[in-house]
Amino acid sequence: MWLKDSSIGRKFVMSISGLALVLFLIFHGCMNLAVVFSEDAYNMICHLLGANWYALIGTLGLAFLVLVHFCYAIYLTIQNRAARGSDRYAVTGKKEGVDWASENMLVLGFCVLGFLVLHLYNFWFKMQFAEITGLETGAFDPQNGAAYVKALFTEPIWGQVYCGLYLIWLCALWFHLNHGVWSALHTLGWNNLVWMKRIKVIGCIVATLAVLPFAIVVLYYLGMGIGMLCA
């Protein structure tokens, strides 16, 4: 099959699945940003995207995209290492034009995936999953997500730990997206002399738009938590 057996096909799948996930991140980040300005608005958004049929279909679709993107990333890495053979053990200098993120995309991907598990536990499991199943997954009301977010990130000591972990995750995510968006657009054909430098700028802008809303929320509650400790 072309999408599995061809190198171009595998990169095409990686590009499309990756860009779809980036669009979701931007949407999800903007949704989360509402909690900084209005807790009622955030709770209303959570209600609209809670245990509804379209939200459940979207969740399954996202899980499928993550699985496809991850599996193809592993497959491509194995194929690339096998193609290089013993050359990968040679000690060489940094390749010209190859940035750090490009050489460490798989490591960054594992870092992002690892923190994603924490994120799913803290929010999806204790919010949407709790609403779907009716199970008690935490000492809070699933209908009041804003109160839970505030409690999690402003909890004495552990709140600051969570904020720090999320900021590390967002840094890894930014580097992963910065190169990933550029690579995806390059794979999809924006690779001529005119657009090569432009899509690197586009990658930087898109990565920032995807990460910045999450970072604002974390920093907002980090400041609030530190203020509560000092009070």
Q: In this structure, what token pair is assigned to residue 198?
A: 């432009």
Integer Cα distance of 104 and 107 in angstroms: 5
Integer Cα distance of 150 and 85 in angstroms: 51
Q: What is the CATH number of domain 2-230?
A: 1.20.1300
The pLDDT tens digits for 144-181 are 889 989 998 998 888 899 899 999 999 999 999 998 89
The pLDDT tens digits for 100-138 are 667 777 788 888 888 888 888 888 888 778 777 777 766
Q: Please tell me the predicted confidence (pLDDT) of residue 24.
A: 93
The pLDDT tens digits for 38-55 are 999 999 998 888 778 888
Integer Cα distance of 10 and 4 in angstroms: 6
State pTM to two decimals: 0.85
Closest CA to 101 of 13, 173, 7: 173
Q: Please tell me the predicted confidence (pLDDT) of residue 90.
A: 44
Tell me which H or E stretch contains 54. Answer: helix 53-84
Residue spans of the domains in the chain: they are 2-230
